[in-house]
Structure 1
Amino acid sequence: MRNLLIAMFVFLVVSCAPSKSVKMDDTTTTKATDEIIGPKRRIGVVEFENKTAYGQKRLGQAVSDILITELVKSNRFVVVDRDKINKIMDEQKFQQQGAVDSQTAVKVGKLLGLEAIVVGAITNFGVRTEGSNYLLTQTKRQVAEVSVDIRVIDVQSGQIILADSGKGEAKSSKGGVLGMGTKGGYDETLEGDALRAAVVKFVDNISKQISKRPWSATIASASNTEIYINAGSDSNISMGMKLSCYRQGKEIIDPSTNMVIGHMENYLGDFEIVRYCGDGGNCSVAKPIKLEQTPSSGDICRLKNSK
């Protein structure tokens, strides 16, 4: 009899214990190399638009925060803090909530010296409750499903270099015996789990697309004898690295689409990184190797011979 009671107690505990599972959509995931080759890319993430009726602003903030975390964890990017982006948008009286168009994203990106900026939207979010009821046992399952769309915009050209979609699903189950254990409320952690499952694949896809384009940095200050760029040790900049610098001019517009596809550029010269500057890891000093014109703040530099 004692053994029977113990067995029944164990059965009750196991049956009532909650469980959770997360399903990721990896149908379009592309695996980027874990090895960091060359400088890290400077990128920003705008607060996502929530197009659903659920969660209002909270979900948009949550999904952009998750993407920022995953980008930083990848060790491939220097991600500008979203508070800085919001401050710039507020100062320039740009729209902070809802859809952010490509033109606004490019303006913000240039003001912050970014290579690319990510905008996106939650297009679907839903939570449903499922259950089963047998003679002795009952099961209650909560399921959260989410769909997220992103666009990655090249700051220099204004082109959308990646458009991607992701889906995530998270489940939380609670079992019960004779009515015990199934009365728990809504599991709020499901939101974050489903959102993370939807966006985690974006990191590799973003890295792959941005890596196809030449790395660039912005000149913060300059003279005839040296330049200061907005990339340093945090960006994996190394001493002796060679740069070619340019001044962007007139926009190049595709007559068939009327869209900007690039800028005319004026070659300024070649430079070599000689030291870091500042305490934040985001500044380097370069000396001229070959000087055609004196650079100015806002000019751009790329790795020499990078095309």
Structure 2
Amino acid sequence: MKRSISLLLIVSIFLFLFQSPITAESADFRKTKIAVLDFQLQGEGFETKDMGVIVAEWFITALVKAGRFEVIERGLLKKLLDEQKLSMSGIVDASTATQIGKFLGVKTIISGSVMKLQNVIEINARIIDVETASIIAAENVKSSTAVRLQDLVVQMSEKIIKNFPLEGYIVNRTGSRVTIDLGRMAGVKDDMEFSVYKEGKVIKHPKTGAVIDVQRIETGKIKIISIRDKVAEAEILKEESPGSISYGQLVSSILGNLQPVLQSAPSTDRDLQRALSSGRSSNRGDSPNDVISMLKSSSMSDKEKGAKIAAKQYRNDTRILDVVNEELLKSYNSSADDRDFVDAMAWLCNALGASGQSKYISTLETVSNNALNRKLKKYALKNQRRLR
């Protein structure tokens, strides 16, 4: 009898361990598990035949940095797919993606292509839901070949991430501040904003009576001010009515505006201009030389305008960024009490922060340590963190 009980206990423990894995993520934030297939190359003139593999690797790196995804490592993915004689590359249909996804135990598959035609390059990506065998989103970016392909991949990854909002709950409120159950381990970043919702009417299927959704009623917006491993503190930016944001309400991340990728093209290349016209907006007077003139202007409004254009349109142009760097170092303490001056200097900091180039960290560090104006110190520190 004792032996039978012991055997039953062992079997029960075995089933429990395999059906309910005890991991750090079981009770905490669960990352979305995805797989990224190699991108298919279409067209000619690529630097290497392995560019599709390289693009996939760049995507994986960008998604891992976001902190909210568990991405299947490419080497393991290839080994498993080879064993099952499934394709690692190219645009796969939804049914094939479902087969791959279920085999790997992932919820989402990302596949896509890189197309090159004359002087235009375009990246397309599709997000496929494994359970429903349907394409839940499709994104694309394009530009001239003057733009680094890796910069386009970063732009595309930001578009993909917006399809996976980070969601959690408010676990405490004190005055105008709240604590949410998401932290650094979940991918929360400085200054990230969240919408806050309370549950409303339960939505049921008219035939079966099954609950298919719960109405969300927005109660306000919050902004992250400090982050720990599993929680983050936020300040309330907007509230529908006093006290409407409260304990237990849902928070969902808001994606900021995507920074446009530099899209430069020779004005004489009419075919290229037409090819990019659908995804490009240009302003007269915003050429590189005009922007440099604005940056070097003694007018603070012109300098601020030039810095804004540099941050949005020329964040990969080293010639312009070096001028931004020079102007910031030369002038950041010239007039600490003048509001227009401080705004212009703050935008110079933003332009360096948007570049993604670590060589400008030392300049921002100098400004954050030595600036006489507190607002400017804050902007320099914020953009310094963006580059680390």
TM-score (norm 2): 0.34
Higher strand fraction (1 or 2): 1
